[in-house]
Chains A and B, each alone.
Chain A
Amino acid sequence: MAMLRLAMHSLWNRRVTAFLTVLTIAVSVCLLLGVEKIRNDARANFANTIAGTDLIVGARSGSIQLLLYSVFRIGNATNNVSWESYQHFANHRSVAWTIPLSLGDSHRGYRVLGTDHNYFQHYKFANERPLSFAQGQAFDDIFEAVLGAEVAKALNYSLGQEIIINHGLGKVGITQHKDKPFVVSGILAPTGTPVDQTIHVSLQGIEAIHIGWQNGMPMRNLKITADQVRQLELQPKTITAFMVGLDSKLATFRVQRDVNDYRAEPLLAVLPGVALQELWGLMSIAERALLIIAVFVVISGLIGMLTMLLASLNERRREMAILRSVGARPIHIFSLLVSEAGLLTILGAGLGVALLYSLLLIAQPLLESQVGLYIDITMLSSYDLQLIGFIIGAGFIIGLIPALRAYRQSLADGMTIRI
């Protein structure tokens, strides 16, 4: 293909502008693929947050709100679930297991979750992966705590560390449960879910730190030491929510109805998958906006190339006339310009992919540690290849515009050089 070789030589001759054009396209391709990648990985991360749980039950509110506070530890419950109701459903004949969740306290900005051993046994994420311990074991004593991977890493905590839990959720707690410190008994392996940012203690532990407190403030004259607490009955009266695993998936809707129709207390049961979908639906506006921006950047990259090719046409009239004089037909001139546009786009796409992977390699550890978003560096998906193919196709099509101009110009100019 003689015109392709000619196009390469011609572009090399204008390599500075050609390189800038390639760079513009590369940046736009990189952005588009990057946005796609983050979109997909965020969605996958999101869907991976919880698995194996059939129902989440909390006080009656909205399903997204319930999901947010119980699974993502964002926001607060408006109401609690009484211990009696929890027991009622824990002993329901279709229910295999339950995980109680009690939220409301924090340690240096990280949420503290009161739960029981079922959590370590039944909570699953991603493809039904259970939680595993990187170090140590589950809490045994009332004043023991298990740290999520990120908590341990960020605060540089190790086994045996004593921590003090704040009442409320502020980073610098106004009121601290200083009188009753917790000891780190275990650290979980990273999961890429909100579990990493959570400190887990027993339900009794949560109960214990609130003894001697009233209306959210410590009672002035009453001091109870940690040892005294161990002697007390620490049955919690309420919890925030609970997760339910069923014997059979077939029972899901029946149990959900039982919860929602429960007379003793207004409760809400949601299917985590459905609620996740709903929540993602809310976020997809931002996600789609991002994609639209990326698409526009690609378009502007291609328009940049069009500008460059059109601007060069006038100064290349002589070149075209010479080509005509040595026997090039207008169709050759046409294919020269289309080849140039195609080459620029292909080079741009190639460079864009290279750029994307270098950025991913740099950004992967940062995103994971700063945002908790785990980006998997994989080969380009067939969808990515489709996108790239589409961009290259668009490049060729845009090349038709200067090509048609050059075609008409060379028909009109023939071999005379009108400059």
Chain B
Amino acid sequence: MTERIAPVITAEHLTFAYPGKSQHVLDIPHLQINAAERVFIKGASGSGKSTLLSLLAGVLVPTSGVINILGQPLNQMRSRQRDHFRADHIGFIFQMFNLIPYLSVIDNVILPCHFSKQRQSKACTQHSVHQEAQRLLRHLGLDDDQLHHRRVTELSIGQQQRVAAARALIGAPEIIIADEPTSSLDADARASFLQLLFAECAAAQSTLLFVSHDASLESLFPRSLALHDLNQAGTH
């Protein structure tokens, strides 16, 4: 049974319009993403990218249509349930300003475990949450243990982004959503960051949704979707 490919995200007839506006900013007839897939979603700014991510994260509720995540109808949940669901099942990496400036590297990484019992218990199956955080950081190339107790503001942008990745990965959430995580990195750092991210997602069997406007990264992903093909809003 485990070998059967199960959909992680399905969306049907998904539309969204901001309250008080009649025009849809998003209209997706069909979207399916399967477990452990690595999907590149290409989209320029203004293409409804952040709206889609907000819908998938359950921050916004669709105007109509259905979103199922891990078999659960997100659009039918109450806001508290969506918050819990997000905390348990989705890890986020953003473009910039990802980390809490006043916490140490380690404390930033273990932050999601404070808000999700599920991720906390998953993170400490083999050892403590702390050790799991250190393991992730080492795997992501931050192998200087001294670094782990520094303030995040003392780190370079590239290092910060790896800390953010470790934080998204801790407790092995089923879905990792990365929103332009590499745009502040140079080309070399970008490639090595992606390699590490892929390896960790594979190890945790997490599904990766990678959103970027940078087409040069597209070739690194087995599956690529263009948001303007996906999104019917504005085309009719």
Chain A residues close to B by CB (< 8 Å) = 2, 6, 9-10, 12-13, 318-319, 322-330, 332, 411, 414-417
Contacts and interface: CB of A to CB of B under 8 A. Distances in A.
A327 B86 contact: yes
Contact of A326 (B97, B102, B112): B112
B97 A9 contact: no
B114 A2 contact: yes
Interface stretch (B34-42, B54-62, B183-191, B225-233): B54-62
Interface residues of B, number: 29
Contacts of A325: 92, 94
Contacts of A9: 100, 102-103, 107
A416 B49 CA distance: 12
B83 A323 contact: no
A77 to B, nearest CB: 72
Nearest to B83: A329
A324 B116 CA distance: 12
Interface of B: 50, 54, 57, 59-60, 79-80, 83-84, 86-88, 92, 94, 97-103, 107, 111-112, 114-116, 119, 167
19 contacts: A6-B100, A6-B103, A9-B107, A10-B102, A13-B101, A13-B102, A319-B100, A322-B98, A322-B99, A323-B100, A326-B92, A327-B115, A329-B83, A329-B87, A329-B115, A332-B115, A414-B57, A414-B60, A416-B50
A119 B220 CA distance: 106
Contacts of A322: 97-100
A243 to B, nearest CB: 69
A416 B98 contact: no
Q: Which of B54, B60, B102, B107 has the most CB of A within 10 A?
A: B102
Contacts of B92: 325-326, 415
B59 A327 contact: no
A330 B84 CA distance: 11
User: Closest 8 CB pairs between A and B?
Assistant: A327-B87, A13-B102, A327-B115, A414-B59, A2-B114, A329-B83, A326-B112, A325-B92
Contacts of A6: 100, 103
Given A327-B114, A330-B83, A415-B59, 7 more contacts: A13-B101, A322-B97, A322-B100, A323-B111, A326-B92, A327-B112, A329-B84
Given A414-B54, A414-B59, A416-B50, A328 B115 contact: yes
B87 A415 contact: no
A319 B108 CA distance: 12
Contact of B54 (A12, A323, A329, A415): A415
Contacts of B102: 9-10, 12-13
A326 B50 contact: no
Nearest to A329: B83
A417 B97 contact: yes
Given A9-B103, A10-B102, A322-B97, A329 B80 contact: yes
Contacts of B97: 318, 322, 417
Contacts of B111: 323, 326
Contacts of A411: 79
Contacts of A323: 100, 111
Contacts of A417: 97
A415 B59 CA distance: 8
Q: Which of A2, A322, A327, A417 has the most CB of B within 10 A?
A: A327
Given A415-B54, A416-B50, A326 B115 contact: yes
B144 to A, nearest CB: 22
B7 to A, nearest CB: 23
A364 B84 CA distance: 58
A417 B92 CA distance: 14
Nearest to A2: B114
Contacts of B99: 322
A80 to B, nearest CB: 78
Contacts of A319: 100-101
Contacts of A2: 114-115
A47 to B, nearest CB: 54
A325 B94 CA distance: 9
B112 A416 contact: no
B71 to A, nearest CB: 20
Given A322-B97, A322-B99, A327 B116 contact: yes
Nearest to B97: A318
A322 to B, nearest CB: 6
Nearest to B115: A327
A339 to B, nearest CB: 13
Nearest to A13: B102
B168 to A, nearest CB: 9
Q: Which of A6, A318, A325, A415 has the most CB of B within 10 A?
A: A325
A323 B101 CA distance: 12
Contacts of B100: 6, 9, 319, 322-323
A35 B123 CA distance: 55
A139 B171 CA distance: 91
Nearest to A319: B100
Contacts of B83: 327, 329-330
Contacts of B88: 327
Nearest to B59: A414
B45 to A, nearest CB: 13
Contacts of A324: 59
A271 to B, nearest CB: 66
Nearest to A1: B114
B126 to A, nearest CB: 22
Contacts of B116: 327
A96 B167 CA distance: 88
B70 to A, nearest CB: 16
A318 B92 CA distance: 15
A196 B65 CA distance: 91
Contacts of B119: 327
Nearest to B96: A417
A63 B88 CA distance: 79
Contacts of A326: 87, 92, 111-112, 115, 167
A264 to B, nearest CB: 86
